[in-house]
Amino acid sequence: MNLEDHLGDIIRKARMMSNTSPAVAARAAGLTEADLSGLEESGVYANRPNFNTLARAIGLHPGNLQTIANGWLPSKKDLNRWRELRVFTTAGNGITVNCYLAWDGVTRDAALFDTGFDVSPVLETIAANHLELSHVFITHSHSDHIAGLGTIRASLPAAKVHSSSKNAPLEQRNITGECVQLGQLRITHRATPGHAEDGVTYIVSNWPDHAPQVAIVGDTIFAGSMGGGNNAWELARSKVREEILTLPAETLICAGHGPLTTVAEEKANNPFFG
């Protein structure tokens, strides 16, 4: 799977975050403004930019921006380590989005994290593995992440919905310090607003065979990038640093878009957080 954000997306986001004009960024990169615009749009360039000076101008880590330009991808993850964890990628409105299903191998209690556009493969997996969907955890209420929520609730009405949206009914809202038990698995949460006002990261721990914990982060951070700040760029960036990159290095990061990664890989390679 390719990165969610290509090189140009990363540069554009960083330029917006740092409030750097196209003229200033182009000059730092040694490009014309037209060339910079083409790079931000396509992620490719005819004339190689000066990534060191560009990165410094827009607040990125120079070496990590070079790494992205050189084609970095996170290592492919073997989900057999977590056994009862599945990733579903569905498409709609010209984009793809990930959702995640986890369950306890003994009790067969399951939890869904976001829904994506099409929940048919989720429902098929639940039926094929004889699971009981007990919980639906929403990372944020943007439409691509909750498009299938109505179908899930109609099909499996016993599942409890968890959200940090101020518009959610009180009984669905996440409670500070709450720990949800899913068989032997434990699910906690951390507030990660910025990309979305109701952004939240769910931590799934106590996996069999001491597999690393899993952080289901929505659109807070992507492999090699981060979600759009939507006028709250510094809040979004600080919450990733404080709430996600402080997790153990081997923590599996499951983002709403793009490939799986780890805390260690993002600290070493992500231009926003190097």
pLDDT for 127-183, tens place per residue?
A: 999 999 999 999 999 999 999 999 999 999 999 999 999 999 999 999 999 999 999
Instruction: State whether 130 and 51 are in the same domain.
Output: no
Q: What is the mean pLDDT of residues 241-246?
A: 98
Within this chain, do residues 83 and 65 fall inside the same structural domain, yes or no?
no
- For residue range 20-36, list pLDDT tens digits in order: 999 999 999 999 999 99
The CATH number of the domain holding residue 42 is: 1.10.260.40
| Phi, psi for residue 39 in degrees, rounded to 5 | -65, -45
Name the CA radius of gyration of the chain, rounded: 19
User: What's residue 173's pLDDT?
Assistant: 97
Q: What is the pLDDT of residue 166?
A: 95
Query: Quick check: is 160 in a domain?
Result: yes
Do 58 and 95 sit in the same domain of this protein?
Answer: no
Q: Are 254 and 98 in contact (CB under 8 A)?
A: yes
- Domain around 27: 7-69
pLDDT for 274: 82
Residue 1 lies in a domain: no
Residue 164 CA: distances (Å) to CA of 55, 91, 138, 200 = 34, 25, 8, 7
pLDDT of residue 75: 98
- Distance (Å, whole) CA 2 – CA 6: 9
Q: What is the C-alpha separation between 165 and 131, in angstroms, rounded?
A: 27
Query: 29 and 128 share a domain?
Result: no
Tens digits of residue pLDDT in 84-120: 999 999 999 999 999 999 999 999 999 999 999 999 9
Which residues make Cβ contacts (< 8 Å) with residue 244, sequence separation at least 6? 190, 192, 201, 215, 217, 220, 221, 253, 263
Choose the final residue of a domain: 69, 89, 118: 69
CB-based contacts of 226, cutoff 8 Å, min separation 6: 13, 195, 220, 236, 237, 240, 270, 272, 273
Question: What is the CATH number for 264?
Answer: 3.60.15.10
Predicted confidence (pLDDT) per residue in 192-231, tens digit: 999 999 999 999 999 999 999 999 999 999 999 999 998 8
* Overall number of domains in the chain: 2
Confidence of residue 1 (pLDDT cuts 50, 70, 90): confident
State pLDDT tens for residues 91-101: 999 999 999 99
